[in-house]
Structure 1
Amino acid sequence: MSQADASQVLPDPASPLGDGTDALAATYPDVLDQVALARLYGEPLFALPQDLYIPPDALEVFLEAFEGPLDLLLYLIRKQNFNILDIPMQDVTRQYMAYVDEIRSTNLELAAEYLLMAAMLIEIKSRMLLPPKKPEGGEEAEDPRAELVRRLLEYEQMKLAAMQLKEIPQYGRDFLKATVHIEQSLQPRFPDVEIGELQAAWRDILKRAKLVQTHKITREELSVREYMSQILKQLQGQRFVEFERIFNPEKGSTVLVVTFIAMLELAKETLIEITQAEAFAPIYVRLAYTPV
């Protein structure tokens, strides 16, 4: 040990331990040859204090840890190779109550759920001592242990399934995701292009260009006044003209619509008359005035 280390271990002569030599020899014998167990308020501690108080609960050792009353019952049954379908209630209840009495003395809150199961075991044991009641119909009486056996079997299945899931490798516990950092160069490096690839790309562009077609849509401008004049010319010199003869279907639906609108305008201005002799009879059109 160097002189600097020794100066850190040795107490200060001005400290409450005294003036140095006698107090050091009496309290810390062979200080330079020992290793401090700990430091208390900056001072080295080479031995445990004689008046150190350790709480009784600080050194408890649990040999078996159970997750609940069913886990304890299943442990007692499997440890002694009891048949779970024919549980010896007297032995199991006695061992269970011994464990409950043990944990009641240390942890009353933990013992509460175990006491509920203990009451159930005592009830089953009492029902087994009584003569069974035969149900109506001659059926066999139900075993008082049936409900407990069902719960134990279901719990055992869930426990085995949980153990199997626990054995499956899990990310973060059994393995980690491998990551590799690749440093890229500052200037990008483009791949070389050959002539054949350029030709194939150009053929693909030409093929897509042929699929594109352009359409020019034009709108025909029709004048209602013009068709009104045509209808008046068509009616001149004739007494009656059938309604269907006014229209020319060969010119398209647009012309038909404009012709019909022109006829309505003429009827609105009382320049023509639209007549019908009776219901479902042919419709006729004529001029409402006699031209000079």
Structure 2
Amino acid sequence: MVDSAELLAQFKPDSSGMPDVVDHVAVARLYGEPLFAMPRDLYIPPDALEVFLEAFEGPLDLLLYLIRKQNFNILDIPMAGMTRQYLVYVEEIRGRNLELAGEYLLMAAMLIEIKSRMLLPPKKMAEGQEAEDPRAELVRRLLEYERMKLAAARLNAMPQFGRDFLQAQVFIEQSLQPRFPDVSVVDLQEAWGAILKRAKLVQHHKITREELSVREHMSLVLKKLQGRRFVEFEDLFDPASGAPVLVVTFIAMLELAKETLIEITQAEVFAPIYVRLAYSLN
């Protein structure tokens, strides 16, 4: 490494205040002093520049790369060869980034376990059932990861706003015509809703008094019974006339029964009720 004092001495300005270089323009400053050319023996630490030829997003990505590179059948993975290649890569990244190597070491332990299980005799299964392949779970995860990776690649290949195209915008200055703010349908709906709310707050309700005469309705009931032997109780009421009229008509019937001008009869329980004139029996 070049000492800073020697580097400054090499580019020390002359008596005129500027070094004997073209244009007298500094390309950099070191501790406040100008540098007018890059030093030839500049020291660069080895870890300052690293080139990654292959970038993997995780252990599954690395396994899939090794399988496709060696043209292995993903449904019949040769565990010995793939585990050997995988461990070579893990040893490489352990020396550079131990924290990053953690998840890769976990997958390496899983590969070694699968390889060990394949060396053992298979477990006895029921008659007609095949022995479970120790690689089945790993194959399922690899196939699922490959589907997701291909789907992500297809999505990434689609044109994206800001990366592949930009939105065209044109601004035209119209100084002679006033520019009014745009009004959307939602703005009109909110304005109309506010008007309806105000209208509900100022509603007027007028109450009128309807004068009904019990004597008048007593006469009406007697007219309906005149010339008829029996009249069913419900036929003496008109539901369309409103609740007040029905109440007054019922009171009028009670008054007529009290004065023994009408008779209200019923043959049995829950039978129809009939009304007739009391003096029609004479």
The answer to whether TM tops 0.5 is yes
Other-structure match for 1:286: 278
Mapped to 2, the partners of 1:93 and 1:245 lie a distance apart of: 100
CA RMSD in angstroms comes to 4.6
- How far the C-alpha of 1:264 sits from its partner, in A, is 2.2
- How far the C-alpha of 1:116 sits from its partner, in A, is 0.8
2:93 is aligned with 1:103: yes
- How far the C-alpha of 1:157 sits from its partner, in A, is 1.6
- How far the C-alpha of 1:115 sits from its partner, in A, is 0.6
Mapped to 2, the partners of 1:179 and 1:228 lie a distance apart of: 85
Mapped to 1, the partners of 2:140 and 2:218 lie a distance apart of: 97
2:64 is aligned with 1:74: yes
**Contact persistence 2:214–2:252 (CA under 8 A):** yes
**Among 48, 53, 57, which residue is 1:58 paired with?**
48
**Contact persistence 1:37–1:45 (CA under 8 A):** yes
Kindly report which structure 2 residues correspond to 1:108-119, keeping only aligned pairs within 5 A, or say none. Answer: 108-119=98-109
2:101 is aligned with 1:131: no
Question: Structure 1 length normalisation: TM-score?
Answer: 0.61
Other-structure match for 1:45: 35
Kindly report which structure 2 residues correspond to 1:182-221, keeping only aligned pairs within 5 A, or say none. Answer: 182-184=172-174, 185-186=176-177
Aligned residues: 233
Mapped to 2, the partners of 1:247 and 1:94 lie a distance apart of: 100
**Among 162, 171, 180, which residue is 1:181 paired with?**
171
- How far the C-alpha of 1:51 sits from its partner, in A, is 9.8
Mapped to 2, the partners of 1:152 and 1:233 lie a distance apart of: 97
**Contact persistence 1:77–1:84 (CA under 8 A):** yes
Cα gap change, 1:243 to 1:122, in 2 (>3 Å): same
Q: What is the percent sequence identity of the aligned residues?
A: 66
For each residue in 1:209-237, what CA deviation from the matched residue of structure 2 results, as whole angstroms up to 9, or x when unmatched? xxxxxxxxxxx9764323435778999xx
2:255 is aligned with 1:265: yes
Mapped to 1, the partners of 2:83 and 2:266 lie a distance apart of: 112
2:143 is aligned with 1:162: no
Kindly report which structure 2 residues correspond to 1:19-34, keeping only aligned pairs within 5 A, or say none. Answer: 23-25=12-14, 29-33=19-23
Secondary structure class of the residue paired with 1:39 = strand
Mapped to 2, the partners of 1:277 and 1:146 lie a distance apart of: 87
**Among 231, 238, 242, which residue is 1:244 paired with?**
231
**Among 76, 84, 87, which residue is 1:86 paired with?**
76
Cα gap change, 1:28 to 1:142, in 2 (>3 Å): farther
2:105 partner amino acid: L
Bigger Rg, structure 1 or 2: 1
- How far the C-alpha of 1:112 sits from its partner, in A, is 0.7
- How far the C-alpha of 1:262 sits from its partner, in A, is 2.5
2:278 partner amino acid: R
For each residue in 1:51-90, what CA deviation from the matched residue of structure 2 results, as whole angstroms up to 9, or x when unmatched? 9775543222222110000111111121122222232222
2:36 partner amino acid: F
Cα gap change, 1:74 to 1:277, in 2 (>3 Å): closer
Mapped to 2, the partners of 1:224 and 1:243 lie a distance apart of: 22
